[in-house]
Amino acid sequence: MKTRLNGPFVLSAHDIVRRPGEMREHRLTIPLKEQWGEGLVAVEQGEELVLDVRLESVHEGILATGEVDSTYRGECGRCLNPIDAPVEVEFQELFAYPGGEANDFEVQDDHVDLETLVRDAVVLSLPFQPVCQPDCPGLDPETGERLTGSAGKEQVAPVDPRWAALQQITDHGNAAE
């Protein structure tokens, strides 16, 4: 995979290349130039990613280990309320020295490009069915209005007409008590 050797995700490893045991730490704040993620939630364009990265020289290449923090936005999959939540992801990948077998990530001209690695980690961590709260009741199937938690009165679930006769039996049983 050919990398471009500029951009906010490209880090120089010149002073640690082929020096096993050497390590450098970086803290980066990078505003996204494009949206990451599709579906109900995404990390929007312009949102800042905060990366804490450690580059370690090993015999096979440069080991990149880190954590990325940001915020995703979108809507609840049940009630369509807006969601704004943190995303925190850890990652680790070996950027191999070129020349050996084919690798997904390689050291290019003593640099490592973290963009694909970080983007994949962030996008894969986004919830597939995001909810605004774990017990979100969603929308009323008949009216389409948002159901709220207990708003003073108990929500009565609609009774399937095929079971209505059984409901009458239980109602009479409760009245006799």
pLDDT value at residue 150: 43
Q: pLDDT averaged over the chain? A: 87
SS3 10: strand
Total count of domains within the chain? 1
Residues 6 or more apart from 137 whose CB is under 8 A from it?
Answer: 78, 79, 147, 148, 149, 155
Task: Give the distance from CA 88 to its chain's centroid.
Answer: 7
Residue 34 within any structural domain of the chain: yes
Tell me which residue range forms the domain holding 98: 10-125
Task: Report the distance separating Cα 32 and Cα 43, nearest Å.
Answer: 8
Give the global pTM.
Answer: 0.77
Strand 23-31 relative to strand 48-58, pairing: antiparallel
Task: Report the distance separating Cα 67 and Cα 89, nearest Å.
Answer: 6
Residue 48 within any structural domain of the chain: yes
**pLDDT tens digit string along 31-71?**
999 999 998 999 999 999 999 999 999 999 999 999 999 99
Residue 163 within any structural domain of the chain: no
Residue 176 within any structural domain of the chain: no
Residue 170 within any structural domain of the chain: no
pLDDT value at residue 10: 95
Residue 33 within any structural domain of the chain: yes
